[in-house]
A = this chain, B = another copy of it.
């Protein structure tokens, strides 16, 4: 017997059996309803927003990773490559990469380790500061960055699953959220 339809473990005495409107098929809408029913109404919209963000991120990331996979790079490493590509010289200090990508320094160490092992970047000494290292794009790193961008543009970015209006609003709303969090 499918447990989903078995009232022994779930579903007994739920909204449906009590004659109230059925929970939506959307798990987030369902959670929001639970929030309201438990008297947490004021927090319900925020909960729904944060939860939606988590799930949408999950979906977007998996599409991106699937697109990049054939090229042997992950999104984290792709971001490093693009940052270098946009820097004219094709090279940036580790520290600057971390601050631009807003990740922990150890995450950059990790990403650069793998990019270097794949021959896409090289670590060289910083001429003025012997503590620092400069990460430089190799020709092969440039090629991968170009291919990856072409793939992402055509397979994900031009069809993000939203119409133009929604895309615009999403960027604006998240922009305000990032700004209020002190992101920029």
Residues of A near any B CB (own CB < 8 A): 1, 3-4, 6, 8-10, 12-14, 24-28, 31, 34, 40, 42-50, 52-61, 63-64, 75, 82, 86-89, 91-93, 95-96, 100, 102, 126, 128-129, 132, 134, 149, 152-154, 156-162, 164, 166-171, 173-181, 183-184
List residues of chain B with CB within 8 A of the CB of A162: 49, 173, 176-177, 180
Given contacts A153-B43, A156-B46, contact A52 B170 (CB under 8 A): yes
How near does chain B come to A81, taking the closest CB pair, in angstroms? Answer: 13
B61 & A54 in contact (Cβ 8 Å cutoff): yes
On chain B, the residues within 8 Å of A64 by CB distance are: 50
- The reply to whether B27 and A184 contact each other, CB–CB distance below 8 Å, is yes
Specify which of B26, B44, B157 is in contact with A175 (CB 8 Å cutoff).
B26
- How far, in Å, is A103 (CB) from chain B's closest CB? 8
A16 CB to closest chain B CB (Å) equals 12
> Which of A126, A176, A183 counts the most B-chain CB atoms under 10 A from its CB?
A183
What is the total number of copies of this protein in its complex?
A: 2
Bound CA span A157–B36, Å: 13
| A184 CB contact (under 8 Å) in B10, B26, B100 | B26
CB closest residue in chain B, given A100: B27
Assuming A55-B183, A157-B43, is B174 touching A88 (CB within 8 A)? no
A6 to B127, CA, bound (A): 12
In contact, B49 and A54 (Cβ under 8 angstroms): no
Tell whether, in the assembled complex, residue A46 and residue B160 are in contact, meaning their CB atoms are under 8 Å apart: yes
Known: A46-B157, A60-B50, A171-B49. A88 touches B10 (CB 8 A): yes
State the Cβ distance, A112 to closest chain B Cβ, in Å: 15
Task: List residues of chain B with CB within 8 A of the CB of A75.
Answer: 54
Closest to A82 in B: B31
